[in-house]
Amino acid sequence: MTPLLWLLIGVGLTILLIVAKSRFIGFRTQQPADLAQSGPRFDLRAHLSGPILCEGVIYGPTGRVASRFVAQMEGVWDGNSGVLKERFQYDSGRVQDREWRLFLSNDGSIKAEADDVVGPGTGRAEGAGVQLRYRIKLDEEAGGHVLNVTDWMYLMENGTIMNRSQFTKFGITVAELVATMRRVPA
C-alpha cells in the first residue's frame, strides 16, 4: 500500500471514531431517563424561581479556562410558562443580558426560546436532571458561529444546581461551561 492510501485510511478511521464517540459515548449521549430515579425531583418552576446567583467557568477547545463569570438571574413563572432573566458579568468586564422563555408540558418536556437561540430548544426534566438541546448563535465579536449545545442541570440535595454545557461544531467540542446556581435567600 502507498503512503497516501495509509493516510486516507487513517483519516477515515479518525472521522469514524469521532462520529462514533459523539453518537454513542460520553456526555452528549446521556438521556433524561438515566436520572429518572435519582435524587430530589427537579421542578423548574420551584428551583428556577426568584433571584438566583450563578458562578461559572467556560473552557475553550483545548480544555483551558477561556472565561469566568458571575451571573444574577431572576425566574418568574405563570403556570407552566416562565421567564429567566440573566445578567452575566465576565472576567473581561463585559456584561451580557439574556432572557430565556420556558414552556413546560405536563409530561416533563420543555420548549425553550431566547433571542440568540436558533429555533426553539427542546428538553426534558426527569428526576434530579434537566436536559436542554439547542443551537446558539454567538455574537459577531465571537465569530457569529452557530453552535449545537447540550445543556444539563443537576439538582443537588441542598438545592444547588450544577450546570454543565457542551458546545459543538461539526460534532467536535469547541467549548464547555460548568456553573453552579443557587437561589438567593429573600
Of 3.40.50.2300, 3.40.50.1700, 3.40.50.80, 2.40.128.20, the CATH number of 32-183 is: 2.40.128.20
Per-domain residue ranges of the chain: 1-30, 32-183
Of 26, 24, 22, 31, nearest in space to 108 by CA? 31
What's the whole-model pTM score?
Answer: 0.79
CA 59 → CA 63, 101, 131, 178, 179, distances in Å?
5, 26, 20, 8, 11
Q: What is the pLDDT confidence band of residue 38, given thresholds at 50, 70 and 90?
A: low
Cell of 133: 438541546
pLDDT-wise least confident of 8-12, 76-80, 173-177, 178-182: 8-12
Say if residue 39's pLDDT is above 80.
no
Say if residue 100's pLDDT is above 90.
yes
Say if residue 174's pLDDT is above 90.
yes
- Rounded mean pLDDT, 171-184: 94
Distance between CA atoms of residues 52 and 35, nearest Å: 24
